[in-house]
Structure 1
Amino acid sequence: MNLHITLAPLVSLVAGILILIAPRLLNVIVAIYLIAMGVIGLVGHGKFI
């Protein structure tokens, strides 16, 4: 059995959990998520998403 986990859903899950735990971090978490997905999209050419 192969388990194939992509990066975008994993990052989204972690971000969602952090927002539930500490809602004050919403702006920071969203900014980090957008930057990470942008960098991965540019550098990884879609390999990790």
Structure 2
Amino acid sequence: MVLIVTISAILAIIAGLLILIWPRTLNLAIAIWLIVYGILQLLQDFDILGI
């Protein structure tokens, strides 16, 4: 289960970065949301935030 969540978090970060590099549709809002979501998921997976 943790592996699946970690993979989805990494994919969210990658997708966010790609949208920032090639901005065309709903660009900035979706990109920032994906990056923040991915980072928070990784931090939660490794129990860094203690949430």
- TM (norm. structure 1) is 0.48
